[in-house]
Structure 1
Amino acid sequence: MRRLFLCLLLLGALPAAAAEISVLSAGAMEPGLERAAAGFRQATGEQVRIAYATAPQLRLRIEAGQRPDLLIAPAGLIRDLAATGRLAGESLPLGRVGVGIAVRQDAPLPEIQDEQGLREALRSADSVVFNRASTGLYLDRLFERMGLAAAIAPKAHRYATGAEVMEHLLHGSGREIGFGASTEILMVPGLRLIGPLPPGLQNYTTYSAALLPGASGPATALLRYLAGPAGRAALEAGGVAPPQTP
């Protein structure tokens, strides 16, 4: 009995394990966010668990009742969810991610420095690969504006996620051209980021972060860290451009 009492006493003296901060984020933020989360862990000792999804999936999960501590999503989605009362307090802009152009590492490199170069690359590609999320919706409008929508439609391959786009490019003929968040392309071994969309055609998605009701105090600290100098530096190192100043 005495031994049991001593064991219980020792256990009671140990510090309680810190609860994880749960984060649900758009996949385009992954490279920079992982760097920032590592810096936050080192600075505070708090543990951070991050799940990634596309913007449409983020909306569905939050509307279905999923409650992470912190949500990182396109600014428009954050505004929509805030308007329905699903978020708590203010949101903070974290940065912007542009559209990148990708081919397989061993594929011929198209010259895409201007709109004409993009036209030629799209016409000569065996297939054009992009997602059905925010990047893909922008590309739909861009191809329509360029007068190429009808020509691209028969050889377009659309996927729900950026990861599926990259997988298609890796295992294709080598004459595909793909589009996705530049940050996602940089993460995939075997693919080459040709560059961003040419000047005048580029589109940036701004990502913001917001707390959900019931979020812990450490989650608030993480939000402030991500929007502060150390967090911004980590995000930029992962390919996330600074948010536009008003």
Structure 2
Amino acid sequence: MRTRSFLAAANIGFMILLAQGLAAEAAEVKVVAGSGMRAAWEELAPQFERATGHKIVIWYGVTGTVKRRIGAGEAFDLLVTGSRGLDDYTKQGKINADTRTEIARVGMGVGARAGAPKPDISSVDAFKRALLNAKSVTYNPEGVTGIHLARVFERLGIAEQMKAKSKPQQVTKGALQAVADGEAELAFFLTTTLLAVRGVELVGPFPPELQRYIVSTAGVAAAAEQPEAAKALIKFLTSPAATVVIKAKGMEPAAP
């Protein structure tokens, strides 16, 4: 009896110590992420939290917003953004270079109000006609698609014509709502963003000659408070379980 009591007490003590250890190891991981993977994050974050006990605190932003907040000294543990942006932050000493990991890639697309006629955008000429025929277009000028779109307008020689049609909005949600409400005819964003919004349908991707793929790339902050938990999150984002979610949300895993 004494032996059993001793073992029971030992087991209880071990469980208490284990619980305390897990509590001590559980971390709050601060993540800065581009909006292109938002739909995937909504499923991936809870999976990671359940599997590890860590908590993810994440805020999303387009290229310009992320740049301003990080430049202002925003504290974070993990950055997941386009590869070019992450490489720039690495050069600035804000990201540990040896943690750089490509997660997924996504292209740019055109969206229209659900149920509305969809223009042909399958070729460069068709894409140009669709732009010129549209009564109005919207995009986020600080987002990666909006920045690229300005170059596309110039390349197609229609920058001046598009000024009168353009209704740029600094908030992506507002731009997409304008399309859903019929206030703008076409929207230009990453395809994952367009697929995730009710009331907006994907017309299609940019034609290959005008397309630009964004490779969502992760890196641990040089000043991270939770570097090990951030590394664990990167490992999870490249796992088979995460790949299933990434594909379901319209992206391609960066690694085949």
The structure with the largest alpha-carbon Rg is: 2
Q: Report the Cα distance in structure 1 between the residues aligned to 2:191 and 2:145, rounded to whole angstroms.
A: 10
Q: Give 2:105's aligned amino acid.
A: R
Residue matched to 1:82? 90
Question: Is residue 193 of structure 1 aligned with residue 202 of structure 2?
Answer: yes
Cα displacement (A) at 1:152:
1.1
Q: Report the Cα distance in structure 2 between the residues aligned to 1:99 and 1:214, rounded to whole angstroms.
A: 31
Q: Report the Cα distance in structure 1 between the residues aligned to 2:243 and 2:73, rounded to whole angstroms.
A: 30
Question: Is residue 53 of structure 1 aligned with residue 53 of structure 2?
Answer: no
Q: Give 2:123's aligned amino acid.
A: D
Name the TM-score, length of structure 1 as normaliser. Answer: 0.87
Residue matched to 1:62? 70
Q: Report the Cα distance in structure 1 between the residues aligned to 2:158 and 2:181, rounded to whole angstroms.
A: 25
Q: Give 2:249's aligned amino acid.
A: G
Aligned residues: 234
- Aligned CA-pair RMSD: 2.2
Contact 1:98–1:204, Cα closer than 8 Å, also in 2: yes
Identity %: 32
Secondary structure at 1:160's aligned position in 2? coil
Q: Report the Cα distance in structure 2 between the residues aligned to 1:22 and 1:235, rounded to whole angstroms.
A: 21
Q: Report the Cα distance in structure 2 between the residues aligned to 1:244 and 1:56, rounded to whole angstroms.
A: 27
Cα displacement (A) at 1:127:
0.5
Question: Is residue 237 of structure 1 aligned with residue 239 of structure 2?
Answer: no
Question: Is residue 211 of structure 1 aligned with residue 220 of structure 2?
Answer: yes
Cα displacement (A) at 1:180:
0.5
Question: Is residue 149 of structure 1 aligned with residue 156 of structure 2?
Answer: no
Residue matched to 1:72? 80
Question: Is residue 139 of structure 1 aligned with residue 154 of structure 2?
Answer: no
Give the ranges of 4+ consecutive aligned residues of structure 1 lying more than 6 Å apart after TM superposition.
Answer: none
Cα displacement (A) at 1:92:
0.7
Structure 1 or 2: larger helix share? Answer: 2
Cα displacement (A) at 1:89:
4.1
Cα displacement (A) at 1:44:
2.3
Name the TM-score, length of structure 2 as normaliser. Answer: 0.83
Contact 1:33–1:238, Cα closer than 8 Å, also in 2: no
Question: Is residue 183 of structure 1 aligned with residue 200 of structure 2?
Answer: no
Q: Report the Cα distance in structure 1 between the residues aligned to 2:42 and 2:250, rounded to whole angstroms.
A: 12
Q: Give 1:153's aligned amino acid.
A: K
Q: Give 1:154's aligned amino acid.
A: A
Cα displacement (A) at 1:169:
0.9
Q: Give 2:43's aligned amino acid.
A: R
